[in-house]
Amino acid sequence: MGEGIKLPVLNGLGRTNRIDNWLNQPLAMGVALTAAMLYTAWRLFLYPDSIYYELEGSKVMSPIFSPNVLEWELFGLKDWNHPSWVNAAILVLWIPFGFRGTCYYMRRVYYRTFFASPTACWVDEPEINKKIGYKGEKRIFILNNLHRYFLYAAMIIIVIKWWDVTHTLHFTEGWGVSVGTFVMGIEAFLLTMYVTSCHALRHLAGGALDRWTTGISRLRGKVFGKISVFNRSHGFWFWTSLGFVFLGDLWVLAVSEGHLSDVALFVI
């Protein structure tokens, strides 16, 4: 470090020379994430009912409880005499939780909102952060390096999600589309975009290489280029896909409890 002394600086939580409304964004994001977690907890542990509805033979699942692994013949899950508190979401949600929790975009959000590390750029951190000693993504946050493994699992979930969408198309009288198809379809699309724009996928697809000259490596370079385009809006896909999980769940809840009713838009 060069000679000279540091300027007197503003120290302490939220001390800054900024004059704009820097608190708005982290506050809004913190409230949104907290609401999402509380709602999920309520749905998982306190009210795991009305998780799907049937319409003329088609079946629309709530996004939170899709895929409903407890209906699977695989591993004998269907016949499993499970404890009453176990439901499909409890068995599966650790995957999207892990994927989102280790996501490079999500990390920006929660370091800012929940850890004030820092709350916003050029805003000082609370004294306790400095007392504990900053270690970045070491200590507990070293687990964020597992992101690619959650990615593999999330990719499997996405395929099953699309499979669940096809269940909304199959009516007793033939193939058709209902509002539920759009609810599940849009949710599956947004999640697919969120996973496709992932930083780890981008790296594994082609970013790990320095040369994209011949054959497979050239193809991987092209895939890297395509993913990079979606990757720019990773945050957008994060929030829209997250929001739609809850919108979709509210829709399924409302229909299956008779507050709203779904209709088959057309059947062929």
Partner 1 sequence: MMSLKGKMQDFKILRGEGDEAGLKDFSIELDEGMVVLDCVHRIQHEQQPDMAVRWNCKAGKCGSCSAEINGRPRLMCMTRMSDVVAETPEGKPIEIRPMKAFPHVKDLVTDVSWNYEVAQRIKPINGPEEMNWEFNQMEADRVQQFRECIECFLCVNTCHVLRDHALFDDFAGPRNLVRLAQYEMHPLDIEDRVPEIKKEFGIEYCNITRCCTEVCPAGIQITDDAIIQLKERVVDRYYDPLQRIWRTITRQKVRY
**Selected binder of partner 1 within 39, 111, 162, 239 (CB under 8 A):** 111
Which H/E stretch holds residue 113? Answer: helix 104-113
**Selected binder of partner 1 within 32, 148, 162, 185 (CB under 8 A):** 148
Which H/E stretch holds residue 265? Answer: strand 264-267
Amino acid letter at 122?
Answer: W
**Selected binder of partner 1 within 43, 112, 161, 167 (CB under 8 A):** 112
**Selected binder of partner 1 within 61, 207, 246, 252 (CB under 8 A):** 207
**Selected binder of partner 1 within 84, 128, 134, 140 (CB under 8 A):** 134
Q: Give how far the C-alpha of residue 12 lies from the chain's centroid of Cα atoms, to the nearest Å.
A: 33
Distance, first Cα to last Cα, the chain: 74
- Strands, DSSP E only, in 161-228? 170-171, 174-178
Report the distance separating Cα 264 and Cα 88, nearest Å.
27
Nearest CA among 248, 234, 241 for reference residue 189: 241
Question: Interface residues for partner 1 in 9-28 (CB under 8 A)?
Answer: 9, 16-20
- Least separation in angstroms between CB 174 and partner 1: 45
Give 175's Cβ-side CA count (13 Å radius).
2
- Least separation in angstroms between CB 38 and partner 1: 25
Stretch that binds partner 1, among 3-11, 30-38, 180-188, 242-250 (CB under 8 A): 3-11
Residues lying near partner 1 in the complex (CB under 8 A) are found at: 1-9, 16-20, 104, 107-108, 111-112, 117-118, 121-122, 124-125, 129-130, 134-138, 141-142, 145-148, 199-200, 203-204, 207-208, 210-213, 221-222, 225, 228, 231-232
